[in-house]
A and B are shown apart, each in its own frame.
Chain A
Amino acid sequence: METFLQLLIYGLQLGSIYALIALGYTMVYGIIGLINFAHGDFLMVGAFVALFAVTLFGLGFVPALLISMIITGLLGVSIERIAYKPLRKRPRLSALITAIGVSIVLENFPRALPFIGPAPRPFPQMIPMVKFNVLGVSTNSVQLIMIALSVLLMVMLQIIVTKTQIGRKMRAVSLDKDAASLMGINVNSVISVTFFIGASLAAAGGIFYASTYPMIDVYMGIVLGLKAFIAAVLGGIGNIPGAMVGGIIMGIAEIFATSINSDLGYGIGFVILIFILLVRPAGIMGKFTIEKV
């Protein structure tokens, strides 16, 4: 029982980060039907921005988090404007390939910069590490705060999408772009807001990830982005609560599978992906939609 609880904590910790990143995939897909493969790299950018905010300007955790989320969010918006918007009316494959290109640029441009470079770097410990021992389960302040912050961000996002004006606009655009435009909704600005929120959530995910595993490099987003993408598909891509559920399931499944066999843990995400595509291609919470011709 103790081992079970302990593993559950590790799983939740990993899962909440997957969920945060999966949200960005799902939001962008829900609105413009694009799988933004550069999304994993936003989290790397977020982590690096926070690193510089802390080491150069001596900021604390909360200001560094906010600044990083804003800068990464703006980066997301400008990438959408430069790379994806001109292709919005083109076949989806063009945008997908562009996304892969953007991802390669985001990984290798910082790598070429002398003050970032290819070598891994330590990430500062911004939250004091306090260890707890509850019911034979050992945990620490960093783990608990990261899980709590992830849940908080997810709740905030849910409120934005369901309760606010911009949320209503987003849902309208996601339902039918042209009709929403006819109703006087500025589709471009809605898409920009979506990219801003998605990228800033990725930045938060990157900072949380770097706080738990304090070593960052320019390629940290690749595998993490891939796992989060699987989480989004698992939950039903385009569906926001689905991405949260998918992320948590992925995290827990990975930890439990690792405890059985380490190789299994490494591959479990892909096993889940194959299984879900075979059994329920729309994901746990996704709806089947018929492509209109």
Chain B
Amino acid sequence: MKRLLCMLVAVAMMLSLFGCSQSSNTAQEIKIGVVCPVSGQSAIAGEYIKNGISLITDELEKNGGLEVKGKKIPVKVIVEDNEATPEKTANAYRKLIDQDKVVAIVGPDMSKCILAGGPIAQSSKVPAIGTFTTNEKVTQVGDFLFRACFIDPFQGKVAAKYARGSLNANTAAILYNNADDYSKGLMENFKKVFEEMGGKVVEIQAYGGSDVKDYNVQLAKIKAANPEVLFMPNLFSEVPLQAKQAREMGITAKFIGGDSWDSPDVPKIAGKDIVEGAAFISAFSPEDPNPLTKDFVTKYKAKFNVNPNSNAVLAYEAMKIVLKGVQDAEKIDGQGVRDAMAKIKDFQLPSGTVTFDENRNPIKGAVVMAYKDGVPVYVTSINP
């Protein structure tokens, strides 16, 4: 027994020796962690994320590494599964930081998950960038947290710009859920920007929760105000009935919504003719004519034979942002990469130009989509 133990210890020591020599051999290698739901109920989102990132690793392999100040440095991407749960995210963050010694972490895609992992990254001084983490709180965890997507209230601004700037609407009305921060944030920003641009919000009506199904009273008031556009920044399960009741009442205003409208259930439940022409904000559209988008979509389609979605493009961009941080860093460690990432300005990416504001939220463009015969089609891109 004793002998066995001795041998085991010896083997372990030898292995650790190998480990040491290995890491000293490739001291130049940079490790970047990716946390995403590989399994579990959000596995489909994880698939898109992995695909988006694999386009970058392919590129790096082809170029023989990442070019940093004239030198090629090999980059190793380590993917960890978080099963879309906060606990597993925290574990994955710990493993990547303590064991793998990564310089930065990309992902996960959900606000609640990165809120669990974020404090670990913050205290270990490793920058982390969420892909689809739209909740404002994410980057409030600390100065090492970033995100690749726009925050929820920003959609309100984009919607207002579209209504006032592209549609030339003079009057607008809003129907929103005052029990939902998402809806409320969009409403406030829409109103502010629309009025700053010289438009007039003629009626704002609220309702008290997701289980309300009768909007007739609110819509009757909106109808009386006769607006040119009706902004409804509400959940996909509420929007169809709102749209239907509005049209049945005889409201002819153009519908505008947030990214929650981007669900096949909306035209299915409301009816194609009801939502015909309804515009909504989206992070990304594969139909965007921007050459960078086209290039990304072509590459993605060539490899995976499907169109990329927002998850894929945001993961791709988050990784690009991290690599740009590594390239620009004075010293390649957590602090150096963070500082370089925070300074990113006018960085051209497939879904628009990215500049980080002082809270490490990207100021970036969004696209406007509209339902045509029940299918969302690209309308225009709006840059801030």
Contacts and interface: CB of A to CB of B under 8 A. Distances in A.
A215 B210 CA distance: 13
B268 to A, nearest CB: 6
B212 interface: yes
Interface stretch (A59-67, A118-126, A144-152, A191-199): A118-126
A293 B120 CA distance: 64
A85 to B, nearest CB: 32
A107 B220 CA distance: 33
A262 B237 contact: no
With most chain B CB atoms within 10 A of its CB, the pick from A14, A119, A215 is: A215
B94 to A, nearest CB: 33
B206 A215 contact: no
B67 interface: no
A3 B206 CA distance: 19
A7 interface: yes
Interface in A50-88: none
The 8 closest A-B pairs by CB, nearest first: A266-B208, A213-B213, A122-B269, A258-B217, A223-B211, A262-B206, A259-B217, A10-B216
B57 interface: no
A140 interface: yes
Given A6-B220, A140-B248, A259-B217, A119 B265 contact: yes
A121 B208 contact: no
B4 to A, nearest CB: 51
Interface in A100-130: 119-122, 129
B143 to A, nearest CB: 38
A66 to B, nearest CB: 25
Contact of A266 (B207, B241, B248, B270): B207
A250 to B, nearest CB: 12
A138 interface: yes
Interface in B214-248: 214, 216-218, 220-221, 237, 240-241, 244, 248
Interface residues of A, number: 27
B250 interface: yes
Interface string A231-268: 00000000000000000000000010011001101110
Contacts of B220: 3, 6-7
A265 B217 contact: yes
A223 B207 CA distance: 15
B209 interface: yes
Contact of B218 (A131, A214, A222, A262): A262
Interface of A: 3, 6-7, 10, 14, 119-122, 129, 131, 138, 140, 213-215, 217, 222-223, 255, 258-259, 262-263, 265-267
Contacts of B271: 122
A7 B217 contact: yes
Interface string B150-177: 0000000000000000000000000000
Nearest to B211: A223
A136 to B, nearest CB: 12
Nearest to A6: B220
A213 B208 contact: no
Interface of B: 178, 205-209, 211-214, 216-218, 220-221, 237, 240-241, 244, 248-250, 265, 268-271
A119 B263 CA distance: 12
A260 B274 CA distance: 28
A267 B208 contact: yes
Contacts of A267: 208
B214 A122 contact: no
A267 B220 CA distance: 20
Given A7-B220, A213-B214, A265-B208, 4 more contacts: A120-B265, A223-B211, A262-B178, A265-B207
Given A213-B241, A267-B208, A10 B214 contact: yes
B247 to A, nearest CB: 10
A3 to B, nearest CB: 8
Contacts of A6: 220
With most chain A CB atoms within 10 A of its CB, the pick from B205, B212, B213, B271 is: B213
Given A258-B218, A266-B208, A214 B269 contact: yes
A235 B292 CA distance: 66
A120 B269 contact: yes
B249 A121 contact: no
A241 to B, nearest CB: 25
Contacts of B212: 266
B236 to A, nearest CB: 9
Contacts of A3: 220
Contacts of B209: 266
Nearest to A216: B269
Given A213-B213, A214-B241, A223-B211, A262 B205 contact: yes
